[in-house]
Amino acid sequence: MPKAPTGKNTSGRGTRDLRVRVKTAKGRKLSSTLWLERQLNDPYVVRARKEGYRGRAAYKIMELDDKFHFLVPGARVVDLGCAPGGWCQVAVARVNALGEKGGKKVGTVLGVDLQDVSAIAGAEIHQLDFLSDGADELVKGWLGGKADVVMSDMAAASSGHQGTDHLRIIALCEAAAEFAFDVLEEGGTFVAKVLAGGAETELQATLKRNFAKVANVKPPASRADSSEKFVVATGFRGRRDLPADDDDG
């Protein structure tokens, strides 16, 4: 039985075993066999199973937080598209949502997703479309105020076409950013997954207007053959939209 997640990054502790080979079973495609073999030999998948996390993505948010330090005790965190829950598990431990760190502030972790998500100790999970009308007010009500961190590991359903998938995830990230503008405290942090591909220029410009610093990072837990990266925007300034164009007419 895996131990309870601690939120600690245990990289380099000898999690890689001898490589597992998978034979192609009758009726199973070669691509499925290769995916299964990759999963069985992925050190982060092995670690997640041993350490009690719901997926390898937990290590991505650990590595990002190790670098930028936004999941601090007492922080109020919103995880958009939180299924299966690995990011929430990490956040619970790091913001002290269970109050297990004596003398430290107790934080709040709120996860929302379109689908039902199994309960996570220390996190409050809601089935909600964050794009629906009034979702921001619902979230602020559940939090009892504004958030210190809005994070998103969401990805749109794959179409199989790289250019289309890039545009879809950028649109999703832009929507998450707009949501963050409505629920973040000044000084807050926005973290989201994007796919490299060239269409993120407008998103970057919007974030730079609204945050003190914007960084683009590919954490070690992100597979080398993946085009994903993460944008980490810190120091929310409050919404700063472009001024309306002057009407010379």
Q: Average pLDDT in the 16-45 region?
A: 55
Two tokens at 104? 């430290």
Does residue 27 surpass a pLDDT of 70?
no
Q: Would you state the pLDDT for residue 15?
A: 45
pLDDT digits (tens, 9 = 90+) for 89-144: 999 999 999 999 989 999 999 999 999 999 999 999 999 999 999 999 999 999 99
pLDDT digits (tens, 9 = 90+) for 52-93: 999 999 999 999 999 999 999 999 999 999 999 999 999 999
- Residues tagged active-site: 193
User: Residue 201: pLDDT band by 50, 70, 90 thresholds?
Assistant: confident
Q: Would you state the pLDDT for residue 7?
A: 80
Residue 65 marked ligand-binding: no
Residue 153 marked ligand-binding: yes
Q: Would you state the pLDDT for residue 249?
A: 42
Does residue 248 surpass a pLDDT of 50?
no
Task: Tell me if 110 sits within 8 A of 139, measured CB to CB.
Answer: yes
Q: In 10 A of CB 20, how many CB atoms?
A: 12
Handedness of CA 141, 145, 146, 151 (dihedral sign): negative
Least confident window among 124-128, 182-186, 236-240: 236-240
Residue 247 marked ligand-binding: no
Alpha-helix runs per DSSP H in the chain: 30-41, 43-51, 58-68, 86-94, 135-143, 162-183, 201-210
User: Residue 34: pLDDT band by 50, 70, 90 thresholds?
Assistant: very low
Two tokens at 212? 């003190």
Q: Would you state the pLDDT for residue 120?
A: 97
Q: Would you state the pLDDT for residue 95?
A: 98
Residue 241 marked ligand-binding: no
Q: Average pLDDT in the 210-238 region?
A: 93
Cα 155 to Cα 172: distance, rounded to the nearest angstrom: 7
166/244: higher pLDDT: 166
Mean pLDDT of the chain: 85
Cα 47 to Cα 169: distance, rounded to the nearest angstrom: 27
Q: Would you state the pLDDT for residue 29?
A: 57
User: Residue 246: pLDDT band by 50, 70, 90 thresholds?
Assistant: very low
Residue 113 marked ligand-binding: yes
Put residue 142 in one of left, alpha, beta given phi > 0 → left and psi -120 to 50 → alpha.
alpha
Q: In 10 A of CB 223, how many CB atoms?
A: 13
Which percentage of the chain shows pLDDT scores above 70?
78
User: Residue 164: pLDDT band by 50, 70, 90 thresholds?
Assistant: confident
* Structural domains of the chain, with CATH: 27-54 (no CATH), 57-236 (3.40.50.150)
Q: Would you state the pLDDT for residue 243?
A: 53
User: Residue 24: pLDDT band by 50, 70, 90 thresholds?
Assistant: low
2/125: higher pLDDT: 125
